[in-house]
Amino acid sequence: MSLYMDVHRNVDASVEDVVEAHKKDLETQEKHGVKYLNYWVDEDEGAVFCLFEGPSKEAGEKVHEEAHGLTADEIYEVKQGE
């Protein structure tokens, strides 16, 4: 499986809203062969970052789309540093 980081910009949501959206991702992820690992929120900048493993960028996007409709602006395939 590949590792991806997605970026959501101009997010008009509280940290609590993001927590709830992440819970919905976890409920939906298995259906698409994705595993969401972590997320980060920058409230001041209105940005959210999600780290996931999956077969493709599109699979991660489908999880977001189905779970809550808050799709990412960008998705990057990343490698873990040592």
Encode pLDDT of 45-76 as tens digits. 999 999 999 999 999 999 999 999 999 999 99
Say if 3 falls within a structural domain: yes
Long-range contacts of 66-70 (CB under 8 A, 24+ apart): 66/28, 66/31, 66/32, 67/21, 67/24, 67/25, 67/27, 67/28, 68/21, 68/24, 68/25, 70/8, 70/11, 70/13, 70/21
Say if 51 falls within a structural domain: yes
Provide the terminal-to-terminal Cα distance of the chain, rounded to the nearest Å.
Answer: 18
The CATH code of the domain that includes 20 is 3.30.70.3090
What is the total count of domains within the chain?
A: 1
Encode pLDDT of 13-53 as tens digits. 888 999 999 999 999 999 999 999 999 999 999 999 999 99
What pLDDT score does 13 carry? Answer: 86
Q: Which domain holds residue 18?
A: 1-75
What pLDDT score does 82 carry? Answer: 87
Say if 80 falls within a structural domain: no
What pLDDT score does 33 carry? Answer: 98
What pLDDT score does 71 carry? Answer: 93
Say if 81 falls within a structural domain: no
